[in-house]
Amino acid sequence: MNAAAAATASAAAASAASAASAASGTAERAERYGDRIFNHGHAEEHARLLALADVLDPHSLHTLRTPKTPPARPVHQVLELAAGAATVTRRLLDDLPTAHVTATDLDGRFLTGLHHERLTVLRHDVTRDDLPEGHYDLIHARYLLHHLPDREHVFARIVSWLAPGGRLVIEDPARFSVEAAHDPRYRRVSLGAMRVLADRLGTDCAHWGPNLPRTAAAHGLTDVTLHTAVPTVTHDSPMGRFWHLSLRHLADDITALPGIEPEDTRSVIDALTRPGLIEPGMATVTVTATKPVEQSRGGRRP
């Protein structure tokens, strides 16, 4: 089956599952990330993730390389959750020449070409598949948790996989910068895209990101740091390219929202293809934190 056919089959399966779930009255969310929206078989999804990497990789890699305080333990085991197009995974293998890197994703399609003697690639659902407790010295998860309805529970799972003294780096978006945008159409359509993700997948672009420092502290982590960056959206900026591909992907769902005209969505997508528009994009919140040595629960390496 080619990628487009796989995406169609997956969408059909998602819609059948959704109908079955509705019929049986189960509380399961009808659609998950990747069933239809942002399916890795979609023709533009790899390019969309590479554009996101262009926006985020410089700061992610800087944060991963240069902890604000010296790490409490040497970094031997690294976990890159939901690696996506694996741009960070590749760089981590170069940056940490003695570390073993485990890269996971729900959909392994973009990870299949990755081979390295210090790399393990896992097809892994972070909401339900296990990993060894207390094992990883450094864990990074970017643009993952805000998409998961049970994100609080998943956060606790991630903390359990961290070794005592290990370091967590979590990055998620926040929409406050888009709420402050000047162009009303750009603002309406962009917030509409986030509404679609909230309605369909349970994505939280409002509170989860800005609350990450509190979440980290509530889970007993220490040395919590926060960095927030707001990129520029223009037709040729990395965030502009990411947003153009994201809006194209979600266009029909955005246009179906109350208060949005088809012309609104079309004109913003078009404005992102030529010079003129200049607005703030989604903010990215980067939080780092450390698992204290004394609070570990049986944190042994297996």
Binding site for ligand SAM (CB under 6 A): 33-34, 49, 52-53, 82-85, 105-107, 124-127, 142-144, 147
Q: How far is the C-alpha of 89 from the C-alpha of 165, rounded, in Å?
A: 22
How far apart are CB 300 and ligand SAM at their closest, in Å? Answer: 25
Closer residue to ligand SAM in complex, CB, 8/127: 127
Q: Minimum distance from CB of 80 to ligand SAM (Å)?
A: 8
Task: Name which of 7 and 72 has its Cβ closer to ligand SAM.
Answer: 7
- What are the distances in angstroms from CA 14 to CA 11, 165, 194, 209, 228? 5, 41, 20, 28, 35
Q: Are 36 and 262 in contact (CB under 8 A)?
A: no
Q: Which residues contact 159 (CB under 8 A, 6 or more apart)?
A: 168, 219, 220, 221, 291
Residue with tokens 């643009």: 143
With tokens 């509170």, the residue in question is 207
Q: In sequence order, which residues have a C-beta less than 8 Å from that of residue 13 and are 6 or more positions away?
A: 35
Shortest distance, CB of residue 25 to ligand SAM, whole angstroms?
24
Determine the Cα–Cα distance for residues 88 and 59; give it in Å rounded to an integer: 11
Q: What 3-state class would DSSP assign to 1?
A: coil
Closest distance of CB 167 from ligand SAM, Å = 17
Provide, rounded to whole angstroms, the least separation between the CB of residue 127 and ligand SAM.
5
Judged by CB, which is closer to ligand SAM: 72, or 251?
251
Longest dimension (CA), the chain: 58
**Closest-approach residue to ligand SAM (CB):** 84
Q: Smallest distance from the beta carbon of 128 to ligand SAM, in angstroms?
A: 8
Burial class (CB in 10 A: 0-12, 13-18, 19+), 257: middle
- Give the residue carrying structure tokens 């109908």: 19
* C-beta closer to ligand SAM: residue 49 or 277: 49
Cβ proximity to ligand SAM: between 222 and 228 the closer is: 228
In degrees, rounded to 5, the angle at the alpha carbon of residue 244 between the alpha carbons of residues 91 and 105 is: 40
Is the Cβ of residue 111 or residue 271 nearer to ligand SAM in the bound state? 111
Closest to ligand SAM by CB, 81 vs 216, is 81
Q: How far is the CB of 152 from ligand SAM (least distance, A)?
A: 14
